[in-house]
Amino acid sequence: MVKELRINRRIRAREVRLIGDKGEQLGILPLEGALQIAWERDLDLVEVAPTAMPPVCRILDYGKYKYEQTRKEKRAKRGQRVGLLKEIRLRPNIGEHDLQAKIRTTKKLLEEGSKVRVVVRFRGREVIYPERGRKVLQRLTGALNEIATTSDHVTEEQRSIALILYPVPTGKSKEEKSDAKDQDS
């Protein structure tokens, strides 16, 4: 949210430290002199640091400045996307094509930046064969090791096995990171 700054006649100080429209220091001037310079350049006088002694004012186009600030904030918010936790459920006796479909779905979620919890659920007598569930998890993580890192902690409950996949930070896969480390050494 862009905070409202005092501009032109709303500035209360008698003297201001003035910064020109190109960023140059114009020195400490009385408010009337600073307003006169801004008016001659057909721009606004904006108080950017009201708590400084004397307050710092800048000559600029206030509408353009406000627009750029809102764009900067939107870009910052976009970069702070919260990694949501999504869940993919599998069965130990999943077919090959069904597993490939789950891999594609998981890949899409990871590319969007979400964390993915993969759960293999056992029903009935499937509980007797937990190694089948581990094999399914290994096949899935093996297919996604380029774009995801896994938590070392595999949760085994009564009727399920689960692990969490984290997306690799954008722009670099695991191989690219290891290549970069090798080149640094």
Name the least confident of 13-22, 92-101, 166-175. Answer: 166-175
Q: Which two tokens stand for residue 127?
A: 């509980």
What are the b/e assignments for 91-120, b being 16+ CB within 10 Å?
bbebeeeebeebbeebbebbeeebbbbbbb
pLDDT in the model for residue 172: 52
* Reported confidence tier of residue 149, pLDDT bands at 50, 70, 90: confident
Which single residue is written with the structure tokens 């993580």? 141
Query: Between 104 and 168, whose confidence is greater?
Result: 104
**119 with 87: CB under 8 angstroms?**
yes
Neighbours of 164 (CB within 10 A): 17
Average pLDDT, integer, range 92-114: 91
What is the set of domains in the chain, with CATH numbers?
Answer: 8-77 (3.10.20.80), 85-184 (3.30.110.10)
